[in-house]
Structure 1
């Protein structure tokens, strides 16, 4: 990889396609990184080989693998398989969210997966969102700072930052070592339906391309290291309808929109 800033096609943008197709869609669109969606129920050794081949052929950096979703009642080793897959692929980060209601248990389980990942150069990043038990940037920081494992970090998603009452100003005091990358999308400032169902709909289908919505994305970028990797998390029903069955077209739409947005931010 060159020293250019990593701009990644998030796995959720092309989630209905095989992981290797998502990787192959990223490169011709202009991305130099991609996210990988891992369903451990269907993932096998052949899947790993196909993804490894796609990464080697394209030169794409595997920025992240998702998602480790901590749930109450699970065994401590419930997500070891996904961590091992991430290590085998050489991903930089593995995304984690938690529905575990006990903060103490969340910390213990987060520490376990960090320890599982410590043999590789892979970070475990804890994402906060309103539909989980880690509902704010402050809670995510509490977990990561209390666990204090070098593999641990946080993941900020511009949509979830806004929906949980945060702002760009909250990012200024974060130790940059705790935030290895950020997810970006645009969205409407006000969510019409704030029920759990509405929040899920918002996160999975109503995101917008950068510059199309109301979020203070320029302010967020101004708070960040200009080389911090960006993952474009544009999960959008409208975007899917514009590119049915074509991950390449979808990736191009997203990259061109981000390219235009970044140019406008320095104009």
Structure 2
């Protein structure tokens, strides 16, 4: 794989029924997708088997990069006042459950994040992340840790310390442009990472000035790549400096974008992301 190969993230098309995403994604030039655990819950309720999910994704000429997102993995009690549906979903999103789902649908990995406000220590984090990696390894799955500025693993430096100390080959980082800039994380640190540290990349844009409500901006106020004020050229240049072979997922949580037809969403995401990636190659 390479950074120039595009994936369509589940969050970009979360309002679209899962199977309706597949053909538009492939026709827009995406090679793969991600899927939420909640998508699989809905399909289960409809009587759709995991094998059918796997087969229909393959028939569309795509692959599933990750099942998102392991949210209940650190020891301790949640302190963040998430909406009830999200709190319940995160509690269900254990490593064991999502790893089993990823293996069943033929995904290549799972993502991990801290969204519940669980207090932690680096030692507890290393132990917990190592356990996820060890549980995922026999299935050949990678485990990608996403730093979230409104969570308790808020930035690249903290997440990289955890991953580095864990020392598992299948464990690494999920580097998201929105999280990178809204957390104030360093592009120099990003560029200095070893290639194997990065398992996943997500790209979107945002206004240069952050919202007063980062949680709201995170889940509904992102912009298409190139439509905002983030230094995406610098972001991609830093990623290229690492030598990463992770593909690039276009993740645009946007209430505005979600009003468009799915084929238009896919086309816009592919065109905008490709423009940023091409610009970085020639910059």
TM category (shorter chain) comes to 0.7 to 0.9
Q: Report the count of equivalent residues.
A: 259
CA contact (8 A) 2:2 2:246 kept: no
Q: CA RMSD in A?
A: 2.5
Asked if residue 34 in structure 1 is aligned to residue 29 in structure 2, the reply is no
CA contact (8 A) 1:101 1:133 kept: yes
* Equivalent in 48, 55, 58 of residue 56 of structure 1: 58
Aligned to 1:206: 221
Greater helix share, 1 or 2?
2
Q: Between 100-109 and 135-144, report the one with greater CA deviation.
A: 100-109
Aligned to 2:155: 136
CA contact (8 A) 1:168 1:216 kept: no
Query: What are the equivalent positions in structure 2 for 1:131-170 lying under 5 Å apart?
Result: 131-170=150-189
Shift in alpha-carbon separation, 1:3–1:207, aligned structure 2, 3 A = closer
Q: Deviations over 1:161-207 (max 9, x none)?
A: 111111322211111101022111111121131xxxx1111111111
Q: Which runs of 5+ in 1 are unaligned?
A: none
Shift in alpha-carbon separation, 1:261–1:4, aligned structure 2, 3 A = closer
CA distance in 2 between counterparts of 1:226 and 1:108 reads: 26
Q: Deviations over 1:71-95 (max 9, x none)?
A: 63499x9431111111222222211
* Equivalent in 170, 195, 202 of residue 183 of structure 1: 202
CA distance in 1 between counterparts of 2:270 and 2:96 reads: 33
Q: Deviations over 1:137-169 (max 9, x none)?
A: 111112111221222111111111111111322
CA shift for structure 1 position 5: 3.8
Aligned to 2:134: 115
Give SS of 1:237's match.
Answer: coil
Asked if residue 97 in structure 1 is aligned to residue 96 in structure 2, the reply is no
CA contact (8 A) 1:19 1:37 kept: no
Give SS of 2:27's match.
Answer: helix
With the length of structure 1 as denominator, give the TM-score of the two structures. 0.87
Aligned to 1:12: 11
CA shift for structure 1 position 67: 0.8
Give SS of 1:181's match.
Answer: strand
CA distance in 2 between counterparts of 1:177 and 1:24 reads: 31
CA contact (8 A) 2:2 2:244 kept: no
Asked if residue 239 in structure 1 is aligned to residue 257 in structure 2, the reply is yes
Aligned to 2:247: 229
Give SS of 2:184's match.
Answer: coil
CA shift for structure 1 position 136: 1.1
Aligned to 2:231: 216
